[in-house]
A and B are shown apart, each in its own frame.
Chain A
Amino acid sequence: MTQRRRNWLLVAPAGVWFLVMLVLPLSVVFIFSLGERGPAGGYVPAFTLEQYANLPARWTAFKNTLVLAPLGTLAALLIAYPLAYQLAVRTDPKWKTILLVLVIVPFWTSILIRSYAWIFILGGRGLPALLEVFGIEGVRLIYTPFAVTIGIVYGYLPLMVFPIFVSLDRLDKRLLEASSDLGAGPVTTFVRVTLPLSIPGIATGCLLVFILLMGEFLIPALLGGGKVFFVGNALVDLFLQSRNWAYGSAVAFTLILIMLVSVTVYMRLISRLQNGRDDVSVM
Chain B
Amino acid sequence: MKDNDHISKRKFMEELRRYQKGSVSRRHFLGVTGLGTAAAVLGQAMPGLRPRPAYAGSHIGDRVVLATWPNYHDAANFDLFTDDTGAFVQVNVFGSNEEMLAKLQAGGSGWDVFVPTNYTITTYVSEDLIEPLDVTKLPNYDAAAFDPRFADAGTVNGVLYAVPKNWGTTGFAVNTEHDGGNALTTWKDFFDRTMDDFSSRTMVHDYQLTTIGNALKYFGHSFNSIDPGELAAAEKLLIDVKPHLFAISSDYQPAMRSGDAWLTMCWTGDGKQLNSDMPEIEFVLGREGGEIWSDYYAIPKGAPHREAAYALINHMLDPEVNAREVLAHGYPVADTRTNALLPDEILNDPILYPAQELLDALEFGAAATLTDPNRAELMARFKSA
Contact = CB atoms under 8 A, between A and B. Distances in A.
Interface of A: 37, 39-42, 57-58, 60-61, 64, 119-120, 123-125, 140, 142-143, 221, 225-227, 229, 233-234, 237-244
Given A124-B258, A125-B258, A143-B247, A237 B380 contact: yes
Contact of A242 (B249, B255, B373): B373
Interface in B96-120: 96, 98-99, 101-103, 105
B371 interface: yes
B58 interface: no
B74 to A, nearest CB: 23
Nearest to A142: B260
Given A225-B246, A243-B98, A243-B105, A234 B127 contact: no
Contacts, number: 91
Given A61-B384, A64-B384, A143 B246 contact: yes
The listed residue with most A CB atoms (<10 A of its CB), out of B247, B370, B384, B385, is B384
B245 interface: yes
A39 B206 contact: no
A125 B377 CA distance: 36
Contacts of A238: 380
- Minimum-distance CB pairs A-B, first 6: A225-B247, A242-B376, A226-B248, A229-B384, A60-B384, A124-B260
Contacts of B381: 57
B206 A226 contact: yes
Counting chain A CB atoms within 10 Å of each CB, which of B248, B255, B371, B383 scores highest? B383
Interface string B244-272: 01111100001100111000000000000
B377 A243 contact: no
A241 B373 contact: no
Given A57-B377, A227-B383, 8 more contacts: A40-B127, A120-B254, A123-B260, A226-B248, A227-B245, A237-B379, A238-B380, A243-B105
Contact of A37 (B126, B200, B249, B373): B373
Interface string B218-244: 000000000000000000000000100
A227 B248 contact: yes
B254 A123 contact: yes
| Interface magnitude class on chain B | 35 or more
Given A39-B371, A41-B371, A242-B380, A60 B102 contact: no
B123 interface: yes
B227 to A, nearest CB: 19
Given A39-B371, A241-B96, A242-B380, A226 B102 contact: no
Contacts of A227: 242, 245, 247-248, 383
B248 A234 contact: no
A140 B247 CA distance: 13
Contacts of B200: 140
B384 to A, nearest CB: 4
Given A40-B127, A241-B98, A124 B259 contact: yes
Contact of A241 (B208, B242, B249): B208
A134 B15 CA distance: 63
Contacts of B370: 40
Contact of B383 (A39, A140, A233, A239): A233
A124 B260 CA distance: 5
Nearest to A43: B105
B206 to A, nearest CB: 5
Contacts of B376: 237, 241-242, 244
B200 to A, nearest CB: 7
A243 B248 contact: no
Contacts of B101: 40-41, 243
A177 to B, nearest CB: 54
